[in-house]
Amino acid sequence: MHFRLKRKGNFLLVRFPYDRASYDFVRALPKVKWDPEKKVWALPFSEQTLDRFLGLKHSTVKLEGELALRPWIQSLKLENFSRRTIQSYYSNLLSFLKWSGKSPDEISKQDIRSFIEFSFLEKRLSPASYLDNVQAIPTIETEEMICF
């Protein structure tokens, strides 16, 4: 089974290539509905539902959008970052991803440079606000991308 999961507000959107086992698994979830226009299954988001997908054996689950940040958040917790720092990083990183229109695995050095330029020069943020906006970015980057 291969699933793609994305959070949209209070809903978890689920896509998968049709196979009977995947279909039966998704249909068994509570309050799941098929959206024929978007061709996606939608159900109320909960950590428990997400964990059910992630706990499937012999399946691949691709997390998209803000859900793709979940492993990053776990690593920050393991590194003993405070809850407030994680919340700050998370909201600032979501702002960056929304601005870029890309998922975390699509971000390039140029995107980061453009965002820094946009934050500092065009939005005319104070140095403290500017630092808040860009501080989370290096924590998700690969070493080759870090270029401040």
Contact 6, 64 (CB under 8 A): yes
| Token pair listed for 96 | 């960056």
CB-based contact 15:40 (threshold 8 Å): yes
Per-domain boundaries in the chain: 2-65, 81-145
pTM over 0.95: no
Tens-digit pLDDT profile for residues 86-121: 888 888 888 888 888 887 778 888 888 888 777 767
Longest distance between any two alpha carbons in the chain, whole Å? 55
| CA end-to-end span of the chain | 41
Architecture of domain 2-65: 3-Layer(aba) Sandwich (3.40)
Paired tokens of 49:
């539902």
